[in-house]
Amino acid sequence: MIRGFYTSAAGMIAQQRRQEMLTNNLANADTPGYRADDASLRAFPNLLIQAMGVDNRPQGKTTHVGELSTGVYLQERTLNFRQGDLHETGNRTDIALLQGVVPLNEETGRPGALLFSVENQTGEVRYTRNGNFTVDGQGYLTTSEGFYVLDPSGNRLNVGNDDFKLTQEGFLVNENGTNFAQINVAFVANPNQLVKEGNGLLRYEGGQAVLSANGNANISYQLNQGFIERANVDTAQTMTDMMTAFRAFEANQRVLQAYDRSMEKAVNEIGRIG
């Protein structure tokens, strides 16, 4: 009976954490470039049940009964890098990154991810898909939170003002038609090594260096000026998943209450008889 408490409680905790993740996805459905989280639920190792000392078995032998599940847990949250829809804004500083063909990762079998590289307040490099950029008072291209957008060499991009043109390869063109800078498009081979840090930023925790996709013949992408990439959250599916998680939570809750009533009867009634 005690094991039943733990099994049902584990199910409630797993569904609660899944519900929190889905709620966060839904809350960021309108955040440009937001990458949704996916959850992986795993079962604890099953116990092998055997009967001992039964009459029809020789001395010391056991009878195989079956397996008993010991609960479920939310193993991990992974980033979903499915391409989001593009929304036209007409704002020159808005830039959407449209991912084309990228190499598959040998370990995961999934494609890598393309991102903008930016510099945070402490001077460290971070990554984002949010192309809702602006130009600060010194002429630098920054994110809406003030993080500097970088070029392939890791330098801040000074565009002068918001009256600039951008090619699909990421080259910034002045009024004379000359390329004077380029936006860096970073390639992360294993997106599972990216960790959310807030403000739309991702921190890379992999061992290998992050490569630049600029000029890489094996990688194709397109930068679209005057567009932003919407969040890749499927709101209808997320609402359905939230209802499913809520129903599963309720089911585990009812099981826990049933065990509680059984325990109460065992303590108050059976114990009194003894």
Q: Residues of the chain whose pLDDT is less than 50? A: none
* Torsion, CA 133, CA 141, CA 155, CA 186, rounded to 10: 20
| Cα–Cα distance, 264 to 203 (Å, whole number) | 50
Shared domain check, 195 and 142:
yes
In angstroms, the CA 219 to CA 170 distance is: 14
* pTM of full prediction above 0.75: yes
Q: What is the pLDDT of residue 241?
A: 94
Task: Kindly state whether residues 214 and 121 are assigned to the same domain.
Answer: yes
Contacts of 170 (CB under 8 A, 6+ apart): 182, 183, 184, 185, 214, 223
pLDDT at 108: 81
Per residue in 41-70, pLDDT (tens digit) is 877 666 555 555 555 555 556 566 666 666
Alpha helices by DSSP H, listed for the chain, are 2-27, 235-265, 271-273
Tally of domains in the chain: 2
Q: Which long-range contacts (CB under 8 A, 24 or more apart) does 13-17 make?
A: 13/73, 13/74, 14/41, 14/72, 14/73, 14/74, 15/245, 15/246, 15/248, 15/249, 15/252, 16/249, 17/74
Q: Are residues 95 and 215 in the same domain?
A: yes
**Whether 51 and 171 share a structural domain:** no
The pLDDT tens digits of the residues spanning 141-156 come to: 999 999 999 999 999 9
Mark whether 223 and 175 lie in a shared domain.
yes
Amino acid at 12: M
Of 193, 211, 229, which marks where a domain is finished?
229
Question: Which residue range(s) make up the domain with 266?
Answer: 2-78+234-273
Residues 225, 98, single domain; the answer is yes
